[in-house]
Amino acid sequence: MKFIATTGIFLLGAGQALAATEVTGDAAAGEAVFNQCSACHVVADDEGNTLAGRAGRTGPNLYGIQGRVAGTVEDFRYSDAMVEAGEAGLEWNEADFVAYVQDPTGFLREYLDDSRARGKMAYKVRSEDDAKNVYAYIVSLGPEMEEGDAADAAAEDSAS
């Protein structure tokens, strides 16, 4: 019986991890939306190859954003609130990304339960569909998270 309960908990956690990595937007449509983001952001791989954008330096590199702890891109000066959100456990997934890009300051204030929290991003994506599409586009350019990696992450979460 203990085995069944443990297996059920593991599968539940794996399902949650896989859902957290699910992308529902349209990457092709997101490419056009990303043109608005490229004034500040770039998607450049680990070798420095620019995959999207124009080497913008106002915002952080968005390569490998899915599952990344917020506020951790090397050599980028984040707001204190974004670093605090990362330290509090914010790892980028579609739902949080969509909420953030539609209202960066509002998202941080709610996430941190701090009415004084502020981010550096001033631009807001107006439409939820556009936000989902641009997330799908950015994720399509990054390294893929294997299903086994998601299940391993879920197992670690349920073990702690």
Structural domains in the chain (count): 1
What is the pTM for the complete model shown? 0.77
Q: Which is it for the CA torsion 143, 146, 150, 152, positive or negative?
A: negative
Tell me the pLDDT tens digit for each residue of 27-63: 999 999 999 999 899 999 988 889 998 867 789 999 9
More confident residue, 1 or 17: 1
Within-domain flag for 10: no
Within-domain flag for 44: yes
Q: Tokens standing for 15? A: 């399902």
pLDDT at 59: 92
pLDDT at position 1 over 60: no
Within-domain flag for 108: yes
Q: Look up the domain containing 88 and give its range.
A: 24-144
Q: What's the CATH code of the domain at 110?
A: 1.10.760.10
More confident residue, 86 or 156: 86
Within-domain flag for 76: yes
Within-domain flag for 1: no
Residue 64: strand, helix, or coil: coil
- 158 pLDDT band, cuts 50/70/90, is very low
pLDDT at 57: 75
Percent of the chain residues past pLDDT 70, beyond the cut: 75
CA angle 110, 111, 114 (to 5 degrees): 60
Tell me the pLDDT tens digit for each residue of 78-137: 999 999 999 999 999 999 999 999 999 999 999 999 999 999 999 999 999 999 999 999
- 143 pLDDT band, cuts 50/70/90, is confident
Within-domain flag for 117: yes
Within-domain flag for 160: no
More confident residue, 138 or 16: 138
CA angle 28, 126, 138 (to 5 degrees): 35
Within-domain flag for 13: no
What mean pLDDT is reported for the chain?
A: 82
Spell out where 55-144 has E strands: none
